[in-house]
């Protein structure tokens, strides 16, 4: 009985996985320009439990880009990983990392595919984002 009362008291205060579209803002660092932080906005739309459609919005060389893909995992606490595709040539980038109290930190990697071989993942830098205020 005491355990049930404790769970009912603590549970509402625990961070919950969002059930609506979530916007996160932060920066990425491209490994070839390690001292420069580039702004990024990511929009996560729920597709089921811990499944998301995601779009990354950013400017690179004075040109606006939107890369679209999918993600799996937690935006609140836990592992999060996914992929997005570059809009012109279809180059795929993976991202993976950890969310802690709604803040994500991780890395991004370019996927290179060679026919008949396993995909090669090339480290392209880091990524850090937090939930944007509504």
The two tokens of residue 119 are 């995909």
pLDDT tens, the chain, 134 aa long: 443 343 334 444 444 566 799 999 999 999 988 788 999 999 999 999 999 999 999 998 899 999 999 999 999 999 999 999 998 888 999 999 999 999 999 999 999 988 888 889 999 999 999 999 76
- For the chain, list the domains and their CATH numbers: 18-131 (2.40.128.120)
Query: How many CB atoms are closer than 10 A to CB 26?
Result: 19
d(CA 101, CA 45): 19
**pTM for this predicted structure:** 0.82
The pLDDT score that the predictor gives to residue 6 is 37
């Amino acid at each position: 009985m005491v355990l049930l009362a404790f769970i009912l008291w603590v549970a509402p205060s625990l961070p919950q996985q969002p059930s609506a579209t979530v916007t996160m803002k932060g920066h990425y660092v491209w490994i070839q320009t390690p001292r420069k932080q580039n702004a990024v906005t990511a929009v996560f739309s729920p597709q089921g439990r811990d499944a998301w459609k995601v779009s990354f919005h950013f400017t690179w060389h004075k040109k606006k880009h939107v890369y679209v893909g999918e993600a799996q995992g937690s935006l609140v606490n836990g592992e999060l990983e996914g992929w997005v595709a570059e809009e012109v040539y279809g180059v795929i980038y993976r991202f993976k990392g950890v969310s802690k109290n709604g803040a994500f930190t991780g890395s991004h990697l370019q996927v290179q595919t060679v026919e008949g071989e396993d995909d090669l993942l090339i480290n392209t830098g880091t990524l850090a984002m937090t939930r944007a205020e509504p």
